[in-house]
Amino acid sequence: MGAEEPSMLTTASNPPVAMLVLVAVVTVVVLRHLTSSWRRVQARRLPPGPRRLPVIGHLHLLRPPVHRSLHELSSKAGPLMHIRLGSTHCVVASTAEAAGELIRGHEGSISERPVTAVARRFAYGAAGFAFAPYDAHWRFMKRLCMAELLGPRTVEQLRPVRRAGAVAMLRGVVAAAARGEAVDLTRELIRLSNTSIIRMVASTVPGSVADEAQLLVKAVAELVGAFNVDDYLAVCRGWDLQGLGRRAAGVHRRFDALLEEMLRHKEQAREARRLLMMSSTTVAGDDRKKETAAAAAHKDLLDILMDKAEDETAEVKLTRDNIKAFIIDVVTAGSDTSAAMVEWMLAELLNHRECLRKVVAELDAVVGGGRIAGEADLPRLPYLMAAYKETLRLHPAAPIAHRQSTAEMSVRGGFTVPPQTAVFINLWSVGRDPAFWEQPLAFRPERFLPGGAAEGLEPRGQHFQFMPFGSGRRGCPGMGLALQSVPAVLAALVQCFDWSAAAAGGEKIDMSESDGLVCARMHPLVLRPTPRLSPFPAVV
């Protein structure tokens, strides 16, 4: 006993020798592994990038808004830049040429989208569409979107839903003008877009459901767009240091309960309709055909999804989670983006009064003052559409298109992009590429008119210098809807009202941007309306 006591005192006051040896060995092994990994990565000749720090990589160089930070870094590193966000390799394409090479030459290798921890929760794992892997389910949903859910026929059939929401907003603005009040157009446009998209998804939901959905859509957009260290720093994964996981779980529970209420309400309505059709056995054949056609014509997106889920011959069987995840995708992707685009377009026109005068003169000549301009008028409003295209060029709703490589890619310059690399296509930078755009920072709708340098360019993804909705397999499926709804709302706003800045200090509108998945304005657009049409059209 006595001989062991000195040994015990030594152990208590100094680390055991064995522990020191173990720490040393582990350190050497980790350093050798990191060095070997770094050499393998270097041997691949990654695209150039700025110097990075250990562990965090280039995270310290990113400032909000991120698309501007990436633009500035790329101006020094090159059009195809490699950065390391914590543990994640990223490649950023910032010119039309670099973006075109990735999309045209490697579309099959960048058809996946990186999925964050928060996005995975709202996608019900892999049940959603926006972040789903490129597989049979995704391809089925893409065809369903383009042909039925968000296809031309459905967009046309649901036009009255969008029209009713726009008219309700305009009447609210008329009332505010009569009281001499300014209007927070940011709030009104978000409310309009949220209500419209929710009514397009489920046209008969109670008003309380629509109101709750608006709050949840805002929460989802904030959570999905927030920076989460869990996604980039491997050592932090699973710890939920920022509490985003807990917040997302709470919002998801509320949204799931709301979606279940929408589904039950729709199931009851569909069952009532079936019973009504079955009870009409005495109705003449032609009349029954007309009733059936009328019922089909009034289907909303939820009806179409439930029809597919009940179709035993469908290529892919849709589950309840598939339907709920798709609804979240649609309402979160289609609400704030549409509102932001109307807001940016109006702000640009107010800052360029000569362009605004041309839009108003065109509306007066084509539509007049006896009715409110709508989506059907757009083909006869070329200057308005040119102003919209110019807004899309300068302010794409989603400034960065996110992809992920599934295989190693060799790109121009002898560089290599490893598998599982996040691929960011900076659409904001592409729209300002001086190689394709004269005076790229100027707001000039005339460039899209006959005789202009961009005559004939459409924002549908075929032209890599102008793809505000993305391009290729992961291009925005709601593009057709956005090309109809956004300019129609703007047309009605400037046809019915003259607008002036509510804040003192001049008429110039602040064009600062906020950060997030959607490129929204930093400050609310608060304006004073003066009615142009008197009396306000009763027939809409």
Q: Which residues are annotated as a binding site for heme?
A: 476
| CA distance readout (Å), 205 to 28, 83, 103, 201, 262 | 63, 46, 40, 9, 6
The two three-digit tokens of residue 426, written as one number = 């900076």
Q: Where are the alpha helices (DSSP H) in 87-149?
A: 96-106, 117-122, 136-144
Question: How far apart (Å, rounded) are the C-alpha atoms in residues 181 and 226?
Answer: 34
3 state SS of 335: coil
Identity of residue 383: Y
Please state, in angstroms and rounded to a whole number, the distance separating the CA atoms of residues 441 and 431.
9
Binding-site positions: 476
DSSP codes, 494-533:
HHHEEEEESSSS-SPPP--B--SSS--BSS--EEEEEE-S
For helices 479-496 and 382-394, angle between their N-to-C axes, nearest 10 degrees: 120
Q: What is the 3-state secondary structure (H, E, C) of 149-198?
A: HCCHHHHHHCHHHHHHHHHHHHHHHHHHHHCCCCEEHHHHHHHHHHHHHH
Classified as helix, coil or strand, 85 is: strand
d(CA 345, CA 183) in angstroms, rounded, equals: 17
**What is the four-CA torsion angle of 376, 380, 383, 389, rounded to 10 degrees?**
50
Q: Which residue reads 């019922």 in tokens?
A: 295
For the chain, give the number of residues.
Answer: 540
CA 2 → CA 5, 10, 14, 472, distances in Å? 6, 14, 20, 79
Spatial separation of the C-alpha atoms in residues 98 and 528, rounded to whole Å? 44
SS3 state at 415:
strand
CB of 397 closer than 8 Å to CB of 339: no
Q: Torsion angle, CA of 473/478/481/486, rounded to 10 degrees?
A: -110
CA distance 353 to 492: 17
484 sits in which H/E element: helix 479-496
- CB 221 within 8 Å of CB 194: no
